[in-house]
Structure 1
């Protein structure tokens, strides 16, 4: 098994030990070549059989696109803070077990979609409003609290953050125009250290978008509860739509939380990368 390893040492507050991961993959029988995440736009070696990414959710999209382009499976080692993508797929949290799975040539794979936010790949969700504020507030606490930092950030955002004016178009049709606490464009739908909008599919070649309209802060408690249970889109007061292309018009400078990374998208346009990537999953 010839593997290209992409290890983001900045993920998980520095917990990604590329040298140890390389040894574990080699012990599992793999031949490993290391590639920097910034170099994944360059073609992979022709004998590459698998791409392995070690890092947080923000690293996965870039590695997924590289694996998709090369026509090989992607294996994910959950060494970030939230690890929402790995959690949604039930991937091992123990690094030794995860490396064994990643290096197993007979491992099962599942087809997964890759989203594009203004052309940049993502695999979970891009959210404006409370999620972006919560991510910024969580950042100082991630080294100490781990994934729980997102819960702390979410509570503070729910108590203090303002709503955001947004206009949402799905395949050029306006589906929402007004103030919202949060708007989420979703691939897997996972975000925020264990939350999920729910209702997404990984085989329909469409993106999902869910909007939490502005209202009382007390109602946010209910919405937060349903996000933690993956049932947000089941709420009657939460518009939920699917489409090939989604546009979210928000005030200039509004930040989006894209797979855990804060980005300003002006304008914010979302689509799916044609085709899917095969992701290694447990049996």
Structure 2
């Protein structure tokens, strides 16, 4: 099998795993060409049969778009901090097993959607409000706490961060206008080291958006609990909508947490990449 290996050495344990991954993949009989994330806008080599990405959720989105463009499956080696996308698909976390699955020509694949945040790919969620603040507060503690850093950031954000005024449009129709603790535009719906808004579908060709309206901070405890259990969208006071185009109007400079990467989006417009991608999954 001829693969393109994308190893993000700056993600999670990627600094030490990249050479080990290449060794495991070649030992399995695959021919591998390595590329950096910044090289994936270039055409993949002729004869490429699979793209294998080692990194966190932000790396997965970039590699997914490259695999989709080449019409080949994507395999994910979860070497990031939270690995929400890999966990949602029950991918193996032990490196040798993950490499074995990634290089198995008979491995099963599933269709997954790819979101675009102002044209940039993401596979889990883009969130403004407390979720973005929590991600920023967690970042300095990732190396020491791992995925627990997200819980630390969430607690601090819930206690101190202000609400955010926002207006949400779904396929041109306004569905929310007011103050919100969080607004989450979702593909898989996973984010924050194990949280999930729930209610998403990976084959309906639609994005989801959920809004947590600004009410009491005490209510945030309940919403936080339901996010950890993947049931946020089941709450009666949480507006949940689906559409092909989601637009979120927030104050200038407001950051979105896009698959773990805080960034301003102006204007914040979300769409889907046509066709999505096939992802290698356990049988």
TM-score (norm 2): 0.99
Alignment RMSD (CA, Å): 0.7
**Structure-1 separation of matches of 2:54 and 2:30:** 15
3-state SS in 2 of match to 1:10: coil
Shift of 1:13: 5.6
Q: Residue 278 of structure 1 corresponds to which residue in structure 2? A: 278
3-state SS in 1 of match to 2:223: helix
Q: Residue 260 of structure 1 corresponds to which residue in structure 2? A: 260
3-state SS in 2 of match to 1:66: helix
Q: Residue 73 of structure 2 corresponds to which residue in structure 1? A: 73
Q: Residue 234 of structure 2 corresponds to which residue in structure 1? A: 234
**Structure-2 separation of matches of 1:47 and 1:14:** 27
**2:182 paired with 1:187:** no
Which aligned pairs between 1:213-224 and structure 2 lie closer than 5 A? 213-224=213-224
Q: Residue 46 of structure 1 corresponds to which residue in structure 2? A: 46
**2:132 paired with 1:144:** no
Poorly superposed stretches of 4+, deviation over 6 Å? none
Q: Residue 11 of structure 1 corresponds to which residue in structure 2? A: 11
Which aligned pairs between 1:127-138 and structure 2 lie closer than 5 A? 127-138=127-138
Shift of 1:235: 0.1
Q: Deviations over 1:131-163 (max 9, x none)?
A: 100001001110010000000000000000000
Q: Deviations over 1:222-250 (max 9, x none)?
A: 00000000000000000000000000000
**Paired residues, number:** 283
Shift of 1:17: 2.2
Q: Deviations over 1:45-65 (max 9, x none)?
A: 111000000000010111000
Q: Residue 20 of structure 2 corresponds to which residue in structure 1? A: 20
Which sections of structure 1, spanning at least 5 residues, go unmatched? none
**2:262 paired with 1:251:** no
**Structure-2 separation of matches of 1:17 and 1:87:** 19
Q: Residue 58 of structure 2 corresponds to which residue in structure 1? A: 58
